[in-house]
Chain A
Amino acid sequence: MEKFTHIDASTVEEAVSALGAGKAVIAGGTDLLGVLKTEIHPAYPEAIVNIKTIPNMGYIEEEGGVLKIGALATLSEIAESSLVKDKYAALAQAADAVGSPLLRNMGTIGGNLCQEVRCWYYRARKNYFNCMRKNPAGICYALIGDNRYHSIFGAVGGCIAASPSDTAPALVALNASVVTNKRTIAIEDFCTVDVAKTTVLADDEIVTEVQVPEPKSGTKQAFLKFRTRKTIDFAISSVATAITVEGGTVADARIVLGAVAPVPYRATDAEDALKGKAITESVAEEAGTAAVKGATPYTYNTYLVPLTKGLVKRAILA
C-alpha cells in the first residue's frame, strides 16, 4: 500500500470535517484495504479517516418498534443478536451469509451497504481496465467481455456491475432507512443510480445508523443466497422476502433481488403475483416467473434468469 495520512475520529462531526474529495472512511476495512492493496483507482486517497474510534456506534437495540443498528455493529453481532434473529430474520440471515466468519467479525453493517462493486474489470489490479466507473470517457468492459456475474436488469449509466451487498436486499425487504450525519434516507433511495458511486452519500457524509421498522405480525421472512463456495463467496444471486399473511392469504409482500441488478431490485411483479393468494407451490412458481419477467441478460449471464427464478420460489416457500 502507498502512504496516506491516517486520522482517528472521536466523534461523527470530527470524522465528517476531515472528510472530502480524495479522502476515504475506514471502519471494518475489509473492502477498503482490498481496494488500496490492489490499487484499482487511478488516484490514491490522501487521507483515511478511522471511524472505529467513535464510541457507542456499534449498538443493536429496539426503541418504539424500530430496530436501531449503529453503523459500526459488525455483521457477526447482527447475525448472532437474538433480537435480530427473532424479529428481523431476513437481516440476520443476510448478515450471516456475508463472506466468512472472520470477515463478519471485522465487517460492519455500514460498510456492507457502502462497499464498492465486485465487477472484475472494475477490480482489476492497478486499474488495468480504466472503466467508465472511474473514467467518464471509458467504456463498460463487462458489456462486451465476460459478464457472467453481472446485472440481468439493465445498466446504470452504461455500467452493468451488480450490487454486491447481502444486507441491502434484506433491508429493502424490511423497508429500512439509513441515517447519515445529514439526513434519513429510505434504503431504496440510498443505493445510487449514479455510475461512479454505489451510494448517494456526499463526500462529507457517513452512515451513522440503520433503522428497521418492526414487521407486522404474521410476516414471514427469508434470505437466500446462491454462491459458488458457501463459505466465502459474494452472491451470484440472492433474494430477500418479507411476506405478510393475513387470514391465509398474502396481504403484503416485498421481494427483493440482490447481486443481479446495479441496485437491490424490488421484484414488484412477483409481489403482485402473490397478493391476495394463499401460498402454494404453483403460486410461488408464478411469482418466481414474474420476478424475472423484465430480465435482459447479456451474453454470459442468461443462466441467472432461471437461477433467480428458482431462488425466489424457494424463498417464498421457505
Chain B
Amino acid sequence: MSEEEKREKDGKISRREFLKDAGFIVGGAAIGSTALLAACGPKEEVITKTVTVEVPGPTKTVEVPEKLTKLTVNGETHELKVEANWTLNFVLREKLKLTGTKIWCEEGACGACTVLMNGVPIFSCMTLATECEERNIETIEGLSDGVTLHPIQQAFIENFGLQCGYCTPGIILVTKALLSENPNPTEKDVREALAGNICKCGDYKQIIASVLAAAAK
C-alpha cells in the first residue's frame, strides 16, 4: 500500500512495478497482451486484465474487468480505482481522507475502525473495499453537518464520554445503530452493544453514561 502511494507521489512507474501490475500470472500463464495495452492507457479508465484461472478441465481464460468502484459514503458517491486487497478502512482514510475512522488492531478485535454499513456496525479493517459497492457506508464525519453536533456527540461531550478520543468515533457509531433499533436501551443493552469496542483509557463508566444520556435526549 505504501508502495502504491510512493508511486503516485513520484508520478512514474518503474519497469519492475509495471510488469508486476500488468498481469496477474496465474498457474504459469503468460501476460495477456490486452493487459499490457490497457496498462498504458489513462489511469482512471476502465481497463480489462486477462487472467488465466485454473479450473478443473481445460484451462480457460477469463476477462476480469478492473472497473471503478462506486462507494457511497455519508450519502456522497465516490468513484475511484480500488485494488482488490484494499480494505475499506484504507480507502476511507488514505484515499477519501476521512480520517475520523481510526485503525488500530487491524484484526477485528478493538472496534476503532467501526463504520456503519447499511446501518449495521462493522469493522472497516476486515472489509474489502471492492465488496462495498451498492452499500451505504456511514462514518463519523456523516453525523454532524459541520456546525451543529449530533445529539449523541453532544451527549458524549456533556458526560465526559471520552479521554483520548481514539475509540470514540467507533463507539458513537455503534451507539447510533443501537439507538435507531432500541431508543430506550437498558445499561445491559448498552454494555452488550459496545462489547466489541475497546477503550484503552478505561472510560467505560462515562461512555455508558453518555449513551444513556443520548438515549434520553
Interface residues of A (CB under 8 A from B): 1-8, 17-18, 20-22, 26, 29-30, 33-34, 36-38, 46-48, 50, 52-53, 76, 99-103, 105-106, 204, 230-232
Contact B84 A3 (CB under 8 A): yes
Assuming the contacts A5-B26, A37-B106, A46-B26, asked whether A30 and B126 have C-beta atoms less than 8 A apart, the reply is yes
Q: Which chain B residues numbered 79 to 114 have a C-beta less than 8 Å away from chain A?
A: 83-85, 87, 106-109, 111, 114
Q: What CA separation (Å) do A103 and B26 show in the bound complex?
A: 32
Query: Which chain A positions have C-beta within 8 A of B55?
Result: 17-18, 20
- Some 25 contacts from A to B, beta carbons below 8 A apart, are A1-B85, A3-B85, A4-B84, A5-B53, A5-B64, A6-B130, A18-B53, A18-B55, A22-B54, A29-B131, A33-B125, A33-B126, A33-B128, A34-B126, A36-B85, A47-B53, A50-B128, A50-B131, A100-B196, A102-B114, A102-B121, A105-B122, A106-B108, A204-B56, A231-B196
Contact A29 B196 (CB under 8 A): no
| SS of B interface (majority) | mixed
Is B47 an interface residue, CB under 8 A from the partner? no
Shortest CB–CB separation between residue B3 and chain A, in angstroms? 10
Contact A29 B83 (CB under 8 A): no
Q: What CA separation (Å) do A29 and B117 show in the bound complex?
A: 15
Contact A7 B64 (CB under 8 A): yes
User: Which 8 residue pairs across A and B have the least CB separation, nearest first?
Assistant: A100-B196, A6-B84, A231-B195, A102-B196, A1-B85, A33-B126, A46-B26, A105-B120
Contact A106 B83 (CB under 8 A): no
Is B199 an interface residue, CB under 8 A from the partner? no
How many residues in B have their beta carbons less than 8 Å from beta carbons of A? 35
Query: Which chain A positions have C-beta within 8 A of B120?
Result: 76, 105
Is B143 an interface residue, CB under 8 A from the partner? no
Shortest CB–CB separation between residue B112 and chain A, in angstroms? 11
* Smallest CB gap from B21: residue in A: A3
Contact B54 A106 (CB under 8 A): no
Contact B128 A101 (CB under 8 A): no
State which of A4, A34, A46, A106 has its C-beta within 8 Å of the C-beta of B127: A106
* Smallest CB gap from A8: residue in B: B131
Assuming the contacts A7-B64, A103-B123, asked whether A2 and B195 have C-beta atoms less than 8 A apart, the reply is no
Is B212 an interface residue, CB under 8 A from the partner? no
* Smallest CB gap from B85: residue in A: A1
Query: Which chain B positions have C-beta within 8 A of A53?
Result: 131
Query: Which chain B positions have C-beta within 8 A of A231?
Result: 195-196
Is B192 an interface residue, CB under 8 A from the partner? yes
Shortest CB–CB separation between residue A116 and chain B, in angstroms? 13
Contact B195 A232 (CB under 8 A): yes
